[in-house]
Amino acid sequence: MNVLVLHGSPRKNKNSDTLADFFLKGLQSNGKRRIRHFYLNDLKIKPCQGCLHCSMAPEHECSISDDMGLIYTAYKEADLIVFTTPMYWGYMTAQMKTAFDRMEALAWQGFAGKIFVVLITYNFHCQSTLEFFQRISPFFKIRLHYISCRTYDHIHHHEIPVADCQAELQQAYNLGKTIGATE
Ligand SMILES: Cc1cc2nc3c(=O)[nH]c(=O)nc-3n(C[C@H](O)[C@H](O)[C@H](O)COP(=O)(O)O)c2cc1C
């Protein structure tokens, strides 16, 4: 199994990356996988220009030549794509959304056969982003799994270190383990 991990947070090794670590540990508990990580904040990815070149091009390729090319190549080789992102103002981060818009070039061939794992950390609300993935999955034949993890104590009004979110980290590990055992 080839795995592509897209990291949406500009904060390396913090909440959403840690959730992804646990998922990947579970996934690899049954044997090593080929995993490629892309930290979107470190890449030069231009926003989609809406030219729809990808809709007409023979291979549905994108007209923009930039670091997204690395992700297109890795995506084609991947069986499993992990999207790990915090919520920013009610949605995935701008870094993740920019990459997702550019995935338009991949959507023309559909996402059938790929497993999408969406990992979200948030303080107040994550439904809008989860609903987006739930809504597109049947149409694009995506096999969707997701875990969300609230990193905020609503009673005492302070952030919770992700290390204290043991239930969600375990859930992520278990999801990885289950996918690893069955795929
Ligand atoms: C600019 C900014 C906007 C945010 N907007 C939201 C939001 O709309 N809803 C929410 O639940 N949390 C929001 N948060 C909180 C983060 O989603 C949360 O702290 C997350 O766990 C951070 O993950 P990270 O450590 O991987 O960056 C926001 C944080 C920042 C910095």
pTM of the model: 0.97
- What lies within 8 Å, CB to CB, of 101 at 6+ separation is 47, 48
Give 110-129 pLDDT, tens digit per residue.
Answer: 898 899 999 999 999 999 99
Residue 166 has phi, psi (to 5 degrees) of: -60, -35
- Looking at residue 89, its pLDDT comes to 97
Closest among 82, 68, 100 to 6, alpha carbons compared: 82
- Looking at residue 147, its pLDDT comes to 98
Q: Say yes or no: CB of residue 15 within 6 Å of ligand 1.
A: yes
The CATH H-level superfamily of 2-182 is: Flavodoxin domain (3.40.50.360)
Collect the ranges in the chain with pLDDT lower than 50. Answer: none
Helix, strand, coil percentages, rounded to 5, for the chain: 45, 25, 35
Closest among 183, 172, 181, 151 to 24, alpha carbons compared: 172
* CA of 97 relative to ligand 1 center, distance in Å: 15
- Looking at residue 84, its pLDDT comes to 98
The pick from 39, 96, 122 for probing ligand 1's pocket by mutation, whose C-beta has the most ligand atoms within 8 angstroms, reads 122
Q: Domain map of the chain by residue range? A: 2-182
Give 142-167 pLDDT, tens digit per residue.
Answer: 999 999 999 999 999 999 999 999 99
